[in-house]
Amino acid sequence: MKALTFKRYGKSPEIGFADVPRPTLKPDELLVQVHAASVNPIDNMIPTGLFKAVVKFQLPATLGSDLAGVVTEVGSRVTRFKPGDAVFANIFDQGTGSMAEFAVVPESAAALKPANLDFVQAASIPMVGLTSWQALKERVNLRAGQKVFIPAGAGGIGTFAIQLAKWLGAKVGTTTSTGNIELVRSLGADEVVDYKQQEFETVLRGYDAVLGTVRGDAIEKAIGILKPGGKIVSLVGPLDVAFARGRRLNLVLTAVFALMSRKIKRLARKQDVDYAFLFARPDGHQLAQIGELLETQRIRPVIDRVFPFAQAKEALDYLALGRAKGKVVVQMR
C-alpha cells in the first residue's frame, strides 16, 4: 500500500511516498481503510527528531495521527466495531501513522464517525478535539463563568478549543490577526486581541486558565494575565518533570526536562499559578463524547484546505507556514 513516510530524523528526513506492507492486526485492533487524514504541527516536528527520545518509531515510519475511514477487518478480541463501520480516531504515539491507504487503530482509540460529518470533516477533529478536551476538562477543570485564554484562535487547536470552552460555559479571550477577528468571534470568543495592533499581556486581566499554543515567550507573558491559583496547560513546552515521570522516562531525561522547565516553573510559583505540559493521548471514549457535540452541532469543524493524497507532503508544508484558518486535511478517497 502507499504511505507518506520519513526515513530518518534531522534536517533531511526524506519525506515522501513509499510502498509499504499492509499492516497486520493484533487481537484488539482494527484495520481501517483511510478516507481522510488531517495534519497537525506535531507531524512536522517528529521528523526533525525533536521528540525522538519520547515518541518511538521504527524507521522508515508513516506520518500522521488523525484519520477517518471505514473498518475493513477487526481483531479477535474487538467487540465495539465491525467491518463496514465508519470511524474516526487519533493514533498518535502508537508507533504507526495515518497518512496511508490503510491504518491500524487500537479499538480503545476509535469512535464511530458522527453521522452528520463527511470523512474530511471527521478527520479534522481527533487531535485538536482530544487535546482541547484533556486540557480544558481534565487538567484545568474549566467551569462556567471562568475565563480562559486561548491564543492563536484561528488555528487548528484554537478553532476547536474556543468552541469547547464556550460549551463548558467559560468566557474566552484569544489573539488573532485582523483578517480573522470575525472568524474567532463567530466561534464564541469574547475578548479578541489583534496581535498586530496590541500585546495581549497589556490588555487581558483576571484569567483563570491559559492554553499554551504559541512558541516563544508567549507562555511566560501569559502568567501575568492569570489570577492567583490560575493554571497554564502548555502544548508547546517546555516539557517538565511530571511529563517525564508520567511516561516513565529515564533519570537523565527527567533531569533535562527539569532544567528546561525551571524558568517557567519559577515564574509560575512567584505568581501563585500552576504550569504543566500536556501531550494528548488517544481516547476513543472521549472522542465519542466529542462526536456527540459535533452531531448536535454544539461544535463545528473548521477546515482551511483539503489536499489530495498525492499532495500530502505539500499539505505538511502548507501547515508549516502557520497561516491556516482551522485544519488542513488530506483526502485519500
Measured CA to CA, the distance from residue 147 to residue 133 in angstroms comes to 16
Q: Which of the pair, 153 or 236, is modelled with greater confidence?
A: 153
Please list, residue by residue across 6-41, b when 16 or more beta carbons sit within 10 angstroms of its beta carbon and e when fewer do: beebeeebebeeeebeebeeeeebbbbbbbbbbbbb
| Cell numbers that stand for 154 in this block | 484561528
Is residue 173 exposed (0-12), middle (13-18) or buried (19+ Cβ within 10 Å)? buried
* Complete domains list, the chain, with CATH: 2-125+301-331 (3.90.180.10), 128-277 (3.40.50.720)
Structural element, H or E, at residue 295:
helix 284-295
Beta strands 86-90 and 110-112 are: antiparallel
Check residue 95 and give its pLDDT: 85
Q: Return the minimum-mean-pLDDT range out of 54-63, 118-127, 129-138, 314-323.
A: 54-63
Check residue 249 and give its pLDDT: 82
Q: What are phi and psi of 71, to 5 degrees?
A: -70, 130
Mean pLDDT of 82-96: 95
Rg (the chain; Cα; Å): 19
Closest of 248, 325, 278 to residue 127, by C-alpha: 278
Average pLDDT, the chain: 94
Q: Return the minimum-mean-pLDDT range out of 31-40, 104-113, 264-273.
A: 264-273
- Grid cell 476509535 in the structure block, residue: 110
At residue 154, the 3 state secondary structure works out as: coil
pLDDT bin (cut points 50, 70, 90) of residue 252 is: confident
User: Is pLDDT above 80 for 215?
Assistant: no
pLDDT bin (cut points 50, 70, 90) of residue 219 is: confident
Do residues 1 and 296 lie in contact, with contact meaning Cβ atoms separated by under 8 Å?
A: no
pLDDT tens digits for range 171-180: 999 999 999 9
Check residue 70 and give its pLDDT: 98
DSSP state, 304? E
pLDDT tens digits for range 319-331: 999 899 999 999 9
**DSSP secondary structure string for all residues of 190-253:** SEEEETTT--GGGT---EEEEEE---SSHHHHHGGGEEEEEEEEESS----HHHHHHTT--HHH
Let me know how many helices (H) and strands (E) the chain has, helices first: 11, 16
Check residue 216 and give its pLDDT: 73
pLDDT tens digits for range 148-202: 999 999 999 999 999 999 999 999 999 999 999 999 999 999 999 999 999 999 9
Residues 45, 226, 138, 130, Cα dihedral to 10°: -40
